[in-house]
A = this chain, B = another copy of it.
Amino acid sequence: MKRSKLFTKTLKTVAADETSRNAELLIRAGYIYKEMAGAYAYLPLGMRTLEKIKQIIREEMNAIGGQELTMTALQSKDEWERSGRWDSEKLDVWFKTALAAGGEVGLAPTHEEPITKMMTAEISSYKDLPVCVYQFQNKFRNELRSKSGIMRTREFVMKDLYSFCKDEATHEEFYEKAAESYHKVFDRLGIGNDTYRTFASGGSFSKFSDEFQTICDVGEDIAYLDREKRIAVNEEVYDDETLADLGLKKENLEKVKVAEVGNIFTLGLRYSEALGLVYNDEDGERKYVYMGSYGIGPSRVMGVIAEKLSDDKGLVWPEAIAPYKYYLVGIGEEGEKKCAEIYQDREEVILWDDRAGVRVGEKFADAELMGIPYRVVISEKTLANNQVEVTERATGETKLLTSEEFINKLS
């Protein structure tokens, strides 16, 4: 992309009501735009990062056999009444609205009910199991407060996967496979080392649920980490019994602030019983399907990474999710000419700051604010040795490469 064509601008400051650091940086760098409290638009740079995060998640969900679909946000109340969650006292984040044709509909805060109901049309025999489906779908949650930037909003994209198994044993097997795939996702997103599978309070069907929590100063939770065993315990279940259950010792644990980037739940028969999702087993007996659900919020993850990896100069994206890998700056006529040559056909990896009349210092500051992994500078000075200067955003380290070495890196 040529910077001169990109319609977004970088800003020195944001409105005073924006108190979260992730939103402040993302707005200043032109990634997002605040439409209202708790609702952000994703601008071209932001969309590229968000789509890259989604694609990594998609690949890992496909790898465990997930089949992608997309449900609707509009919800008829029938299914939710059957599960007992239509009542706003039970589920306190509903947006509800009236149909012109009569009746009331809700905006899905999650999708267990409609997915379970849909599956009653697809599952009838043990031969149809196990199966798992997922979607990237906007969720709506009528939050009372919203001051964590894109980490907690009233409308946000969520990857939710649902598994359907014939019994608890098959479920457990899939559940562990899903947990492993979550670790792969966070590794690929560049936060694997600081992300812990964390035991938290369970639901009706299991003692614990599993959260994936990332060490982060602005996190909303507290966890106790065992760095060696790479597991953690959420403060809410941190007691002697839990530690005994998990074979953890107090003296090996470290108390830290964490932000939830994913969670997985055993749902058991909760929804299949409520909505009549049954199958005939090998002996022709009707049984309820055993379910699990697995969530990751790509926009929340993006917010956590923005918080966690940024510095005083701006954002710092891991390569895998940066909107562009290189921020190209030419100095002088010869530098610009060489940039044009290198940029050719590489608009997907290079953001070329070709703006005329903008000081080099300003371009450098934008490259840093936007968190592009490598700043590449070409000037008459570097060209004198047929070189380009490559500076890594995360470390500040600068290397001189020959033009050929750099071009090889690109392809």
Contacts and interface: CB of A to CB of B under 8 A. Distances in A.
Interface of A: 5-9, 33, 35-37, 39-44, 46-47, 65, 67-76, 93, 95-101, 105, 107, 114, 118, 121-123, 128, 131, 133, 138, 140, 142-146, 154-155
Given A35-B72, A47-B70, A67-B44, A9 B122 contact: yes
B72 A155 contact: yes
B121 A73 contact: no
A248 to B, nearest CB: 38
8 contacts: A5-B65, A5-B67, A33-B118, A35-B76, A35-B114, A39-B74, A73-B138, A95-B98
A67 B128 contact: no
B121 A33 contact: yes
A114 B35 CA distance: 7
Given A9-B122, A100-B143, A43 B69 contact: yes
A68 B44 contact: yes
Nearest to A30: B122
A39 B7 contact: no
Given A7-B128, A74-B140, 6 more contacts: A36-B74, A41-B70, A41-B118, A73-B140, A100-B142, A100-B144
Given A7-B128, A95-B97, A99-B142, A42 B67 contact: no
The main secondary structure of chain A at its interface with chain B is mixed
A351 to B, nearest CB: 13
A390 to B, nearest CB: 27
Contacts of A76: 35-36
B142 A72 contact: no
A314 B142 CA distance: 43
Number of identical monomers bound together in the oligomeric complex: 2
Given A35-B118, A118-B35, A69 B97 contact: no
Nearest to A73: B155
Given A101-B145, A142-B99, A35 B71 contact: yes
A43 B40 CA distance: 28
A6 B74 contact: no
Contacts of A9: 121-122
A99 B42 CA distance: 22
Contacts of A73: 73, 138, 140, 155
A131 B40 contact: no
A140 B99 CA distance: 11
Nearest to A67: B44
Contacts of A121: 9, 33
A103 to B, nearest CB: 9
A65 B93 CA distance: 39
A69 to B, nearest CB: 5
A36 B73 CA distance: 11
Nearest to A50: B70
Contacts of A68: 44, 47
Complex A-B, nearest 10 residue pairs according to Cβ-Cβ distance, in ascending order: A36-B76, A39-B72, A97-B97, A100-B142, A41-B71, A7-B131, A95-B97, A39-B74, A44-B67, A42-B70
Nearest to A102: B144
Nearest to A32: B69
Query: In the complex, which of the residues A74, A133, A138 has the most CB atoms of chain B within 10 Å of its own CB atom?
Result: A74
Contacts of A43: 69
Nearest to A124: B9
Contacts of A65: 5
